[in-house]
Amino acid sequence: MTTPFDWTLATRAAKMNPSAIREILKLTERPGTISLAGGLPSPQTFPIDLFTQACNTVMERDGAAALQYAASEGYEPLRRAVADMLPWAVDPGQVLITTGSQQALDLIGKVLLDKDSRMLVETPTYLGALQAFAPQEPIAVGVASDDDGLLVEDFAAQVGSGVDKARLAYVQPNFQNPTGRTLSEQRRTALVQQAGALGIPLIEDNPYGDLWFGTPPPAPLTARNPDGCIYLGSFSKVLAPGLRVGFLVAPQAVYPKLLQAKQAADLHTPGFNQRVVAEVLKDGFLERHVPTIRALYQHQRDTMLAALARDMAGLDVAWTRPAGGMFLWLRLPEGMDAQSLLPAAVARHVAFVPGAPFYAGAADPRTLRLSYVTASSSEIDTAIAALADAIRAQQAAG
């Protein structure tokens, strides 16, 4: 008998290796380690009792249908609820329920990307999007970005032409993962105008948009040109990620293709989960619930910003000041490398994610991502002090 070592794998498989982040997250499972690495919403925000009640209601009222095969488009009342909650006119027929918004990226890649297709992303960009598009073997090109998000002039410069014309541009305009940045109103207007003029689909991923502190972010790109964008949303950050319920909103011209890709990928998102989410959404629950998440995360962001100001003083470290979301982005002193810093940090019982994997092109090795939503305020204080200590030790050694 032969073994699978004889098997010929797809060429893309050579690039499929356990991600750097996965390996780091394993380290954080050591007892006593405070993780600022993961993007785990705070479990204290999960409305467990309400979910339990919704499970019982769904099973009692609609158990057989909830447990049966269902339409690939999604559960009709949930599609309507999604359409109703979005801030522009959305036909529920344009809403496709996905198994987390991660799956929406997979479907979009299948419909828009061929091998070697050019695609534009922010610098840096969401690592999970790079991974979701990777099976189609596109060429990801980073558009230069600053504190106000992607630079629209560079977007236009990078679009390319002919067969090399970008097939899509992927953006997280609100409290971006990994940087926490928000695309300014002015740039949104300019980006939508440019993308429309150039015929480039904007893939607007908005998992964090509801988690604003103080004032809401500017209107979504899709609201400004629904026919020129595919919008991705998720219940993972405002309800709970473990149900894996997300959605996309797509123009009629590509919706049937995305639907076909969805059907081939997993037939449909669990009907039970869709009904539980629809049940929980009833009576405006999110309007009461989301402000409590905002308040918690704003407090934890403030704790982290204060700790950074205190502990990193004199260290030539810079960081972003997110107006919402879950992450901030830190830049180490000149000559330092976040990947090399990690073992020293883990030895001090704190974990973070080095920034390099978030870049489509050349990475800035000094960058790293910190989450302020999983650890408690007192853990954040401890962790930032430990991180500063690790940086100081590294500087003294270097």
**Site residues (CB under 8 A) for a copy of itself, limited to 109-168:** 110-115, 117, 128, 131-132, 134-136, 165, 167
Closest to a copy of itself by CB, 163 vs 397, is 163
Question: What's the token pair of residue 185?
Answer: 């109103």
Smallest distance from a copy of itself to CB 228, Å: 6
Query: 389: buried, middle or exposed (CB in 10 Å: 19+, 13-18, 0-12)?
Result: middle
Cis peptide before 216 (omega within 30 of 0): no
Smallest distance from a copy of itself to CB 270, Å: 4
Among 79, 244, 348, 369, binds a copy of itself (CB under 8 A): 244
Residue 143 phi/psi, 5-degree rounding, is: -90, 135
Looking only at residues 191 through 220 of this chain, which bind a copy of itself when binding is defined by CB under 8 A?
Answer: 196-197, 199, 201
Q: Cα dist. 161→83, 105, 121, 143, 199 in Å?
A: 35, 24, 17, 16, 11
Smallest distance from a copy of itself to CB 202, Å: 10
Q: How far apart are CA 226 and CA 217, in angstroms?
A: 18
Closest to a copy of itself by CB, 220 vs 365, is 220
Closest to a copy of itself by CB, 113 vs 370, is 113
Smallest distance from a copy of itself to CB 165, Å: 7
Q: How far apart are CA 369 and CA 386, in angstroms?
A: 15
Looking only at residues 16 through 55 of this chain, which bind a copy of itself when binding is defined by CB under 8 A?
Answer: 16-19, 22, 38-41, 43, 46, 48, 51-52, 55
Would you mind telling me the total number of residues written for the chain in this entry?
A: 398
Among 225, 339, 377, 395, binds a copy of itself (CB under 8 A): 225
Stretch that binds a copy of itself, among 2-10, 183-191, 330-338, 343-351 (CB under 8 A): 2-10
Q: How far apart are CA 47 and CA 24, in angstroms?
A: 29
Among 179, 222, 273, 303, binds a copy of itself (CB under 8 A): 273
- For residue 391, the surrounding DSSP H or E stretch is helix 377-397
Closest to a copy of itself by CB, 64 vs 313, is 64
Smallest distance from a copy of itself to CB 99, Å: 4
Among 140, 171, 259, 344, binds a copy of itself (CB under 8 A): 259
Residue written as tokens 């992927």?
A: 170
Smallest distance from a copy of itself to CB 336, Å: 29
Decide the pairing of beta strands 367-371 and 327-331: antiparallel
Q: Does 1 bind a copy of itself (CB under 8 A)?
A: yes
Smallest distance from a copy of itself to CB 389, Å: 29
Stretch that binds a copy of itself, among 215-223, 264-272, 336-344, 347-355 (CB under 8 A): 264-272
- For residue 66, the surrounding DSSP H or E stretch is helix 48-67
Question: What's the token pair of residue 312?
Answer: 């990193």
Closest to a copy of itself by CB, 202 vs 370, is 202
Residue written as tokens 């999110």?
A: 286
Contact indicator for 123, 367 with CB cutoff of 8 Å: no
Closest to a copy of itself by CB, 197 vs 309, is 197
Query: How many CA atoms lie less than 13 Å away from 294 in the CB half-sphere?
Result: 18
Neighbours of 74 (CB within 10 A): 24
Report the side by side order of strands in the sheet with 202-205: 95-98, 246-249, 229-234, 202-205, 168-171, 118-122, 139-143
Question: What's the token pair of residue 262?
Answer: 């969805």
75 to 114: interface string for a copy of itself, x by CB under 8 A = -----------------------xxx-xx--x---xxxxx
Question: What's the token pair of residue 52?
Answer: 């339990």
Among 93, 256, 335, 361, binds a copy of itself (CB under 8 A): 256
